[in-house]
Amino acid sequence: MTREIHLANLKLGGDNTLCIIAGPCVIESEDLVFSTAQKLKEICQRTGLPFIFKSSYDKANRTSISSFRGPGLEKGLEILSAVKKKLDIPLISDIHSIEQIQPASEVLDVLQIPAFLCRQTDLILAASKTGKPVNIKKGQFIAPWDMRNVIDKFVSTGNNNIIITERGTSFGYNNLIVDFRGISIMRSFGYPVIFDVTHSLQLPGGKGSCSGGQREFAGPLARAAVAVGVDGLFIEVHPEPEKALCDGPNMIRLEEMEGLLNELKAIDNLLKSKK
């Protein structure tokens, strides 16, 4: 069993219900963020799953210099703050530098360290010192057992509110593969593990100037991860993925979320009943 982490009005880990982190990859517009967050909240309420809203104010690791990055820190946090106030939902978003931590921590309930930065010691320590829950994504380039070192860095400050996210492993060029053994290995360290469904479907740089993706495999991978045993799922969602400004090929269509979540909850309930 993993450690139980309290954030906002929900509990993650332990014996608690599968948690859903979901939202558009990046803040494309205020209207899109509000409407998607509202619908996701309603879907999660109907399915009985706790919900954390995610959308990035800045995507700092895009493939091309011309790729859309988002509205930036100040405007992005302003929009997220308004969403939180109006819809009463907890928030998570990426931090990319130490300078972003203070303003982000004033708005976000969970800070997130992207996969490419999971070994950046100073960033990890600074995020940990806020005392807030922090989700650290496992880099595509490291082994599951190497996350033990990341955890040791984080908890050295006295903050034990760490979440680890599996998001696939580099498999040759422009491809990722999920080794489900890694979920069990990382959960053995005692902290909640999230499975990032949609980023695990990326084909990084697969289209030359942008990444490709294989959203058709979202259902099978999500069901497999829940069956293995995870504390939550990270799913990027968009009303019209084909028109998305970032990660469209691997995002799930909003209208498909409720059916998928009902399936995943049934698997999670069955697994927990066996315990």
Lowest mean pLDDT, pick from 28-42, 155-169, 171-185, 205-219: 205-219
Band (274; pLDDT cuts 50, 70, 90):
confident
Q: Which of 255, 264, 266 is nearest to 42 (CA)?
A: 255
Backbone φ and ψ for 73, nearest 5 degrees, come out as -60, -55
The token pair at 157 is 């400050």
Predicted confidence at residue 155, as pLDDT, reads 98
Task: Please give the Cα distance from 123 to 99 (Å, whole number).
Answer: 9
* Virtual torsion, Cα 13, 16, 17, 23, nearest 10 deg: -40
How many other CB atoms are there within 10 angstroms of residue 116's CB atom?
Answer: 14
Predicted confidence at residue 203, as pLDDT, reads 82
Predicted confidence at residue 206, as pLDDT, reads 65
Band (209; pLDDT cuts 50, 70, 90):
low
The 10s digit of each residue's pLDDT in 131-174 is 999 999 999 999 999 999 999 999 999 999 999 999 999 999 99
Average pLDDT on 271-275 reads 84
Predicted confidence at residue 143, as pLDDT, reads 97
The 10s digit of each residue's pLDDT in 48-80 is 999 999 999 998 876 778 788 999 999 999 999
Predicted confidence at residue 75, as pLDDT, reads 97
- Considering the chain, what is the average pLDDT of its residues? 94
CB-based burial of residue 146 (10 Å sphere; 0-12 exposed, 13-18 middle, 19+ buried)? middle
Lowest mean pLDDT, pick from 8-22, 80-94, 206-220: 206-220
pTM: 0.95
Question: Does the domain at residues 24-59+68-269 carry the CATH identifier 3.40.50.150?
Answer: no
More confident residue, 274 or 137: 137
Domain positions in the chain: 24-59+68-269
Question: What are the Cα distances from residue 150, in Å, to 122, 141, 146, 227, 260?
Answer: 11, 14, 7, 26, 32
Predicted confidence at residue 207, as pLDDT, reads 67
The token pair at 129 is 């010192």
